[in-house]
Chains A and B, each alone.
Chain A
Amino acid sequence: MILDPIGTLISLLTSFGVAAMIALSLNLEYGLGGIPNFGKALFVSIGAYTAGVTYTRLLPLLAGQAAPYPCGAGMSQALQVRTEIMRTLPAVGLTNFLMTLVIAAFIGGIVGYLASYPALRLKDEWFLGLVLLASSEVVRIVVRGAEPVICAHNGLSGLSQPFVFLPTAQLRAAAFAGMTLLAAALCYWFAQRVARSPYGRMLKAMRENSDVASGLGKPMARTRASVMVIGSAMAAVAGVFFVTNIGFASANDYVVGLTLDIWVMIVLGGLGNMRGALLGAAIITLLDRATAIAAIQANMLGSQFDFNYARYILFALILLVMLRYRRQGLLPEQLDTTGAGKFLTKLRRQDVASQKATVNRHA
């Protein structure tokens, strides 16, 4: 029933790239650092809101035009202005997009730093999760009520991806998919580097026992803040891709459901394993699309039930089954071996071998 296999593949790849970036960022925070970020949607939404502001203010400025107020009566005129610029001035569109990425990463980092601040003061460790969850909802409610960002509850359309100047639809989608995958690959490379660095091992030490780690002289407050900054900046960058992929910014997209999807990805793939995050993102993206298609099919066959709701049930079941029966995920975390670690393992092997030799000689 899939009418356009190549188009479907391209759009799946784009969705996968976006999901992978968010999953990698959460895997850095929780998988390595043990920070329960139940407010992931907030950091993704920062990317979307940043795009909302740059597309309406920065973009006309870069094109040398006046920026009309994007909401209310001037809504359609402002939409026309930014659509026109994106179609006819590719250089301006791309510059604006890249600047959006940088600004989003910067703002995301700042908010991540602010969000890590309460962690030091909270009595119970899971309170941080509650504070993040609550913050994410507060920001969503405020943005939904305050007009200047993305026109309150109306949302903001025309946040098109930067390749709309290309002649055919498939070419546009392919170019954007390539860019998204490139960004995801960079994020993956970066996350792997972090995971295998001394800093990554410090994160794991913090996850396992932060008292011991700080007893050994590791600065826990700074570590927690820095990993939140990195993860949030990455999520905000992913948010820019997320929103330009849809082309429409609405505060209602950044709810707790989005956060939970990302959690399912990393628990399914394997906490602390970056390849696991990619695998989880791939499986969940595919399942998401498959359930949507299945729901349409069921509807056409005259089903009385709307199976779009079943998607959430399926994902929640996956999460429960993984937590119960395979906590380490599909791809478990690999033991990190440094040069010193390899040397110690070798010594231990030699030691065991010589002990065995001694035992054999006496026997």
Chain B
Amino acid sequence: MTLTQLVDSLVTTAQVGSLYALMAVGLTLTMAVVKLPNFAHAELITFGAYTALVVSLFVTTNPLFAIGLAFPASALLAWAIHRLVYRPLVRQKSTTYVLILSSFAVGLIVRYTLFLLADRYDLFDKRIQIPLQVLVAIGPLRLTNIFVWVTLSSIILVILLTLLLNFTSLGRQMRALADNDTLARVLGVPVDRVTDLTWVLVGGMAGVAGALWGLYTFVDPLVGWLILLPVFAAAVLGGMRSFAGTILGAYIVAFGENTVMLLLNQTFGLDFSFKPAIPFVIIILVLLIRPQGFGGIGRSATEGGNA
């Protein structure tokens, strides 16, 4: 293995890991606050990616504008899904399995609607175009403007979300809901409003993550579904509650998919087609060996009392 390959894989790890972190904190937030393993999170990501793509193809090529519009688009979608599907089901006292199934179903509807439209208007495998510039080139290290855009935006958004959770009254209310929703209700937390806002926030972040993913690589109706399971692996590593654990988990998953995969390929000749299996193996191992993940570390964000 050459040094360039190693450095390259580490750069990819940083970039993909930041994106996974941005996607996974949203997933963790839904699981903690709304108590729903939302498989339609994938489609919130895809929808954001397509919004950004359409904006960049037909309206303006300014990436800030495209990424900015992905937020309200996916936020609206998430809120609508919550109101139309999840809330009525939760009010019927549905089991978690019913909610998971319905999230699969919602995801399918959005995904294949996008397929229909993408097929009609020929929007497969397109890329959100911004001119590529190499900003840093020191020896084997090459950083492009896309790397800076993607990584910095993801990190800033994750930091903003953490600040919001820890230092605003909305964040306090969300954490109260995550901890004990009955108690939160009794203490006068406006549960409906907080849940609505959680969905808006989660959807918006997923949308931005999708748009950034579209900057980094191609946009396709399956894009969210294909990255959902690494993202789930990151959330599982975070014990599905801890923010710090989830972020750490995201970088570990990205490291496994890129650097470890490269090492396995170079030393054992493992084919790169096995790469998608890595996050699944992480999910299975973590759930079997240490189901709380890194839930114990960094008592930040939505960390609950008994987690």
Contacts and interface: CB of A to CB of B under 8 A. Distances in A.
B164 interface: no
A138 B109 contact: no
A306 B119 contact: yes
Chain B contact residues: over half helix, strand or loop, or mixed?
A: helix
B105 interface: yes
Contacts of B116: 305-307, 309-310, 313
Contact of A118 (B96, B229, B287): B287
Interface string B77-121: 000000001001100101011101110111011011101100110
A127 interface: yes
Interface in B247-305: 271, 273-274, 276-277, 280-281, 283-284, 287-288, 291-292
A319 B277 contact: no
Interface stretch (A89-97, A129-137, A332-340): A129-137
Contacts of B287: 118, 122, 127, 130-131
Contact of A153 (B108, B119, B273, B291): B273
A260 interface: yes
> Which of under 10, 10 to 19, 20 to 34, or 35 or more describes the interface residues of B?
35 or more
A344 to B, nearest CB: 29
Interface in A124-158: 124-127, 129-131, 134-135, 137-138, 141-142, 144-145, 153
Contacts of B288: 118, 121-122, 131
Contact of A324 (B37, B89, B281): B89
Given A126-B96, A327-B98, A138 B284 contact: yes
Contacts of A310: 112, 116
A111 interface: no
B232 interface: yes
B96 A315 contact: no
Interface residues of A, number: 43
A133 to B, nearest CB: 8
Contacts of B94: 323
B97 A129 contact: yes
* Max chain B C-beta neighbours (<10 A), residue from A121, A260, A305, A313: A313
A320 B105 contact: yes
A118 B94 CA distance: 24
A335 B75 CA distance: 44
Contacts of B276: 137, 141
A304 interface: yes
A309 B119 contact: yes
Given A137-B280, A316-B108, A320-B105, A123 B229 contact: no
A142 B100 CA distance: 26
* Max chain B C-beta neighbours (<10 A), residue from A142, A256, A309, A310: A309
Contacts of A126: 37, 96-97, 100
Contacts of A129: 97, 100
A267 to B, nearest CB: 7
Contacts of B101: 263, 267, 319, 323
A75 interface: no
Nearest to B98: A323
A121 B274 CA distance: 27
Contact of A123 (B108, B112, B283, B291): B291
A312 B108 contact: yes
A314 to B, nearest CB: 9
A322 to B, nearest CB: 10
Contacts of B88: 324
Interface of B: 37, 85, 88-89, 92, 94, 96-98, 100-102, 104-106, 108-109, 111-113, 115-116, 119-120, 229, 232, 236, 271, 273-274, 276-277, 280-281, 283-284, 287-288, 291-292
Given A306-B119, A316-B105, 17 more contacts: A118-B287, A122-B287, A125-B96, A126-B96, A131-B284, A141-B276, A142-B274, A145-B274, A304-B120, A305-B120, A313-B112, A313-B113, A316-B106, A320-B105, A323-B89, A323-B105, A324-B89
Interface of A: 30, 36, 38, 118, 121-127, 129-131, 134-135, 137-138, 141-142, 144-145, 153, 256, 260, 263, 267, 304-307, 309-310, 312-313, 315-317, 319-320, 323-324, 327
Closest 10 A/B residue pairs (Cβ): A316-B108, A316-B105, A134-B280, A123-B291, A145-B273, A312-B112, A319-B105, A309-B115, A141-B277, A138-B280
24 contacts: A118-B287, A118-B288, A121-B291, A122-B287, A123-B291, A124-B291, A127-B287, A131-B283, A134-B229, A134-B280, A135-B284, A141-B274, A145-B273, A260-B105, A304-B120, A306-B119, A307-B116, A316-B105, A316-B106, A316-B112, A319-B102, A319-B104, A320-B102, A323-B102
